[in-house]
Amino acid sequence: MVGLEGRRGRAKHVSDRGGSQRARAEPPPADFERGAILFDLDGVLVDSTECIRRNWSEWAVRHGLDPTAVIRAAQGRRTIETVRAVAPQLDPDVELAALASDESRETEGVREVPGARELLATLPAGRWAVVTSAVRAAAELRLRHVGLPVPAVLVAADEVSHGKPHPEGYLVAAAALGTPPADCLVVEDAPAGIEAAQSGGMAVIALATSHPAAALAAADALVPSLSCLRVTVRAGRLVINLQRS
């Protein structure tokens, strides 16, 4: 069984009160029902861990910084905010330009997250978006490199004033889709992203792909991978079920 822990620490279970005949005749109850789904990018749809770690490690070494500490600080954050946090003595705009240029050209080690292609194929156009801490050029490059579609709504780090854990990115995406924040479901893999979504009034499914489960405990549900999500469309609504086995 897949552990699916809500905010109160209770595992969600589906009961079969109608017997096997009824279970076959009726669709399973929804774990979530929403008008739209908003995805983080890195660690959710695209695995760019190798690429990101390499770029930050090289940058840290150039500036005499501890690569491990820099990589830890960069998780879920915009590049400019990471630079400000780990190297306040440097000009953040100059460093951002150099780092953004590198990540917008680098694809070595960038891979599709298992289950991403199948999940996105089930979603109607205009009912999902990407909200990322990468700049737009890098986000689009990574999606195209792995052969995933670039959504009509993609909110990137260089298009907002505040990065995660601020909710701005997710709120901008919800507005662009024309969906109230409370009617959006977010899929994240980082504590900063979970905080951003919940601060914007959105429920969150966390993927334990880049952080230990304990660090993601604030999420409304926790699954080990994207392959555990199933989405169907019923009466114009997105019905999201979490695979239990």
Residue 21: how many CB atoms within 10 A of its CB?
A: 8
Amino acid, res. 205: I
Phi-psi region of 118 (alpha: psi -120 to 50; beta: other; left: phi over 0): alpha
Q: H-type helices in 4-127, by residue range?
A: 19-25, 49-62, 67-74, 79-86, 92-103, 116-121
SS3 (DSSP) at 63: coil
Catalytic center residues: 40, 42
CA–CA distance, 242 with 245 (Å, rounded to integer): 9
Amino acid, res. 163: G
**């009912």: which residue's tokens?**
127
Would you state the structure tokens that stand for residue 153, as one six-digit string? 């709504």
CA–CA distance, 38 with 168 (Å, rounded to integer): 13
CA–CA distance, 234 with 222 (Å, rounded to integer): 24
Q: DSSP letters along 129-165, please?
A: EEE-SS-HHHHHHHHHHHTPPPPS-EE-GGG-SS-TT
CA–CA distance, 183 with 60 (Å, rounded to integer): 40
